[in-house]
Amino acid sequence: MIEVSALCKAFGRQTVLRDISMSVRRGEIFGIVGHSGAGKSTLLRCLNGLETYDSGSVKIMGQEVGELAGSGVLQLRRAMGMIFQDFSLMSRKNVFENVAFPLKVWNTPWQRMAGRALALLGKSGSGAERTRPCLSAAQIHERVMSLLDMVGLAHKSGERIQSLSGGQKQRVGIARALALNPGILLCDEATSALDPQTTMSILDLLEDINRKLNLTIVLVTHQMEVVKRLCHRLLLLDAGVSQAVGRTEDLFLTPPDNLKKFIDEEFTVLPAGINIRLTFPREIAQQSIITGMARDLDIDFSIVGGKLERYLDDVFGFLIINVQREQVEAVLAYLRGRQIPGQILDEQAPGHMRDTGV
Amino acid sequence: MSGETSFFDAWIKGFVDFWPELLEASIDTLYMVFTSTLLSLFFGFFLAVLLIITHPGGLRPQPGIYRVLDALVNLGRSFPFIILLIAIQPFTRLSVGKTIDSEAAIVPLTVAAIPFAARVLEGSFLEVERGVVEAARSFGAGTGQIIFRVMLPEALPALILNAAVIAVTLLGYAAMAGVVGGGGLGDLAIRYGYNRFKPEVMLYSIVILVIMVQCIQSLGNLLYKKLR
């Protein structure tokens, strides 16, 4: 569906993307993760030609984006919806008109005339025109209302944008992005401006759409809970360089160093000394590993953090323990023996406190 | 008591005596201001569209063309109106066939206001949220559609407010139209009030101008609130 290889992009002398490669399969939810300024949004914009790239290749459904001429780019964008962090809705149009707008962009009087002329000449037109005939006002109305129904806002169709909450605005954004029946949905920090609860409801909606419409979703985010909740696979981006690509649960269970740095930021006030993070797959979570380890090794340690987290449809447990320096090797060996991923977290400077989240 | 009465009497009598001239001058002023505002908005709009398209961060960035247009607009805005009025007389003759009367004054008024209009309209277009424009691009809207179906409707309230600013500025410029026999309230105020020592005529003109400015601005504000 989407093939990116060796993609490079610079703004002036500043390199934003360096040698990025990734591929996204049909129906997949793919996450591009990183700090702000890592180049995530630029990468996303290269996919639908909102940004140009300097070298490398971006292929969408077999088409090289950089080679498309003017109208080709417009056709490509027609096949890809996009939603934004700040919603980017037209403030002077109401909910209905915002969702209807893409349909109207692709349904101008001139295009209708051209369609009719082709019909008169007995030509069938190109494939795109056959599958998407020009719409009448009634058909546009029907389409918009079914989209609004899908995002749960049918009763708000006449409302002004200003009167909506953030979550409702993003729902309108999603309906608008889906108006032209795209095969791919691009999400640029779509939940960053929303509170946690609203974020979850938007993620539920995206997942729902992904399943119902078999829509491919590429989403850019810096929020770990979004990645864990939604993404099948992800690309970790730091300073324009790809740090890791892989299945979400693999990357979280045995994080490479770069991702570890990222995950650790969510933790907590950790005491000075050696902290080890254990990750329990569900089947192991049932066993009493921790108490067993204390008995078998005859050591003392303190539990300093823990969390149950949902990855896609699975649940994993985390536990962070603080152990004496001389016992670290024994503990790690014990964990290896039980096939439990364990990792030493960055050593805490004494007195250095992080925000507590556990 | 009697002194006050006579002052008001003189005021009202003066107004009654002068009202045909005042009326004619008001009509001249409104005619000049209205026409030149519309014309300068029309031409200024195209210039503003060219500016936002070629703007370095615009829809089709052309930094070279933008710099030239930008310099031209600044150049046009730096001419003192009274000098422009005389300097472009050959052009005025060419375009309306005469250099004297209020129609002839409309040409320099319009020419003077086009760069100004282009600049303030460019400003209102630039105020349209970048994200909204990007969203329109993201579902395949072309440059023309983005300008006329996204930016123009989104910027409309600001455009109208700026149109009021342009009209008020032109109301000030129109006072100088007397130089080319354009008539109008400013001209009346100078001819009677200053040259013929009739300060009350100057006062009448000024009061009417103040009322006009208030009306134009209030209308602008009202439409802005309605449309927002």
User: What tens-digit pLDDT sequence spans chain B (228 residues)?
Assistant: 445 567 777 777 777 888 888 898 899 999 999 999 999 999 999 999 999 999 988 888 899 999 999 999 999 989 888 888 888 889 989 988 888 888 888 999 999 999 999 999 999 999 998 899 999 999 888 888 999 999 999 999 999 999 999 999 999 898 887 777 778 888 888 888 778 887 788 888 888 999 999 999 999 999 999 988
**Residue-range domains of chain A with CATH:** 2-250 (3.40.50.300), 267-344 (3.30.70.260)
Task: Using CB atoms, pick whichever of A78, A88, A106 lies closest to residue B134.
Answer: A88
User: What stretches in chain A show pLDDT beneath 70?
Assistant: 115-116, 118-133, 258-270, 282-287, 309-315, 346-358
Backbone angles phi, psi at A32, to 5 degrees: -110, 115
Run of H or E residues at A280: strand A274-280
CA A87, A88, A91, A94 torsion-angle sign: negative
Contact A215, A27 (CB under 8 A): yes
Q: Give the count of beta carbons closer than 10 Å to the beta carbon of residue A272.
A: 12
So what's the pLDDT on residue B132?
Answer: 93
Compute, in degrees rounded to 10, the torsion defined by CA atoms A155, A160, A162, A166.
30
The C-alpha of A101 sits at a distance from chain B's nearest C-alpha, in angstroms, of: 9
Distance CA A2, CA B152 (A): 35
Q: What is the pLDDT of residue A285?
A: 61
The answer to whether A77 contacts B137, with C-beta atoms less than 8 Å apart, is yes
Contact present, B206 and B188 (Cβ < 8 Å): no
In degrees and rounded to multiples of 5, residue B24 shows phi and psi of: -60, -45
Q: What is the pTM of this model?
A: 0.77
Nearest to B138 among A48, A89, A106 (CB): A48
Q: How many CB pairs under 8 A join A and B?
A: 72
Whether A229 contacts A31, CB under 8 Å: no
Question: A83 forms bridges with which residues in the sheet?
Answer: A187
Whether A82 and B139 lie within 8 Å, measured CB to CB: yes
| Count: domains in chain B | 1
Select from A78, A90, A108 the Cβ nearest to the Cβ of B154: A90
Q: Look at residue A263 in the predicted model and tell me its pLDDT.
A: 63
* Res A132: pLDDT: 52
Task: Please check whether residue B127 touches A, CB under 8 A.
Answer: no
- Judge whether B143 is closer than 8 Å to chain A, CB to CB: no
Residue A186 to residue A184: CA distance in whole angstroms: 7
Q: Is B129 on the interface with A (CB under 8 A)?
A: yes
pLDDT of residue A358: 33
Q: What is the CATH number of the domain that holds B176?
A: 1.10.3720.10
Q: Which of B126, B148, B144, B81 is nearest to B108 (CA)?
A: B81
User: Whole-angstrom Cα distance, residue A238 to residue A37?
Assistant: 8
Measure the CA–CA gap between A227 and A311, rounded to whole angstroms: 8
pLDDT number for residue A287: 67
* pLDDT for res B210: 93
- Smallest CA–CA distance, residue B228 to chain A, in Å, is 7
Residue B59: is it exposed, middle or buried by C-beta count within 10 angstroms (0-12/13-18/19+)?
middle
Encoded amino acid at B20, one letter:
P
- Which residues from B are below 8 Å from A101, CB to CB? 136, 149
What does DSSP say about strands A233-238 and A29-33: parallel, antiparallel, or unpaired? parallel
Domain hosting residue B143, numbered range: 2-227
